[in-house]
Amino acid sequence: MTERLGACIACHGKEGRTINAEYLPRIAGKPSGYLFNQLMNFRDGRRNNVAMSHLLQPLSDAYLREIAEYFSALDLPYAAPLPPVASAETLRRGETLVLRGDASRKLPACSSCHGTPLTGVKPAIPGLLGLPGAYLSAQLGAWRAGQRRAHQPDCMAELAKSLRPEDISAVAAWLSAQPVPSPAKPIAALDAPMPLHCGGVPQ
């Protein structure tokens, strides 16, 4: 399977560990449902990346699911996070939004959907730890600008439009500064119902 996935490894690194830590995400260990959905989104135009779309255009749903399951099953160690460069105030703001949200603006905590340990939830909600701040900022900005989309109801797009640029910077700075727990696998279920109804995510 590794030989068949040479194109994936060329950018995302051997066994799914990224070789460009700032802008290419680690895919090893992500929930298979999430990886499958993103592969379909690239292939079908809901996410915009010329190289990804070109590679995935000829592939069937079954092949995409096989790719997703392969990378999801990899269990590889995470590197320690880099020391944060953001101010203490920014990091506090990021921690608040990630762990508690902002009720005054009807913003749920990131952890209420991505799980208390922030390692994702099976089968299709990704973890938020072990990702660089630049990548997190770019993805939240893409959701906010409508450049990244998902199946309706598109809860992330709705939520991201309520985020201010300083919110995105704070969330990305705090998340990228956190160590990844061990084990880092996605949890089986949330402790409470999701506060948002998202397309393609079982409720």
Render 111-153 in DSSP notation, one character per residue: HHHH-TTSSEETTTEE--SS--HHHHHHHHHHHHHTSB--SSS
Q: Which residue has the higher pLDDT, 193 or 174?
A: 174
The lowest-confidence range among 20-29, 37-46, 75-84 is: 20-29
Rounded average pLDDT over 170-193? 93
Whether 194 is covered by a domain: the verdict is: no
Whether 202 is covered by a domain: the verdict is: no
Degrees, nearest 5: CA angle 182-188-193 = 120
Q: Which amino acid is at 171?
A: V
172 and 93 within one domain:
yes
- The whole-chain average pLDDT of the chain stands at 90
pLDDT one-digit tens code per residue, 60-92: 999 999 999 999 998 888 888 989 999 999 999
Whether 195 is covered by a domain: the verdict is: no
* pLDDT exceeds 50 at position 203: no
With 0-12 CB in 10 A as exposed, 13-18 as middle and 19+ as buried, what is 1? exposed
140 φ, ψ (degrees, to nearest 5): -65, -40
With 0-12 CB in 10 A as exposed, 13-18 as middle and 19+ as buried, what is 77? exposed
How many folded domains does the chain comprise?
2
Instruction: Give yes or no for a contact between 56 and 43, defined as CB atoms under 8 angstroms apart.
Output: yes
Which range marks the domain in which residue 66 is found? 6-72
The domain spanning residue 129 has which CATH number? 1.10.760.10
151 and 104 within one domain:
yes
* pLDDT exceeds 80 at position 113: yes
Where residue 19 falls among pLDDT bands split at 50, 70, 90? low
Q: Residue 37: beta bridge partners? A: none
Whether 155 is covered by a domain: the verdict is: yes
* Sequence-distant (≥ 6) Cβ neighbours of residue 71 within 8 angstroms: 8, 16, 27, 28, 29, 30, 35
166 and 118 within one domain:
yes
pLDDT one-digit tens code per residue, 115-170: 999 999 999 999 999 988 999 999 999 999 988 888 888 899 999 999 999 999 99
111 and 66 within one domain:
no
Most confident of 16-20, 49-53, 181-185: 49-53
105 and 55 within one domain:
no
50 and 97 within one domain:
no
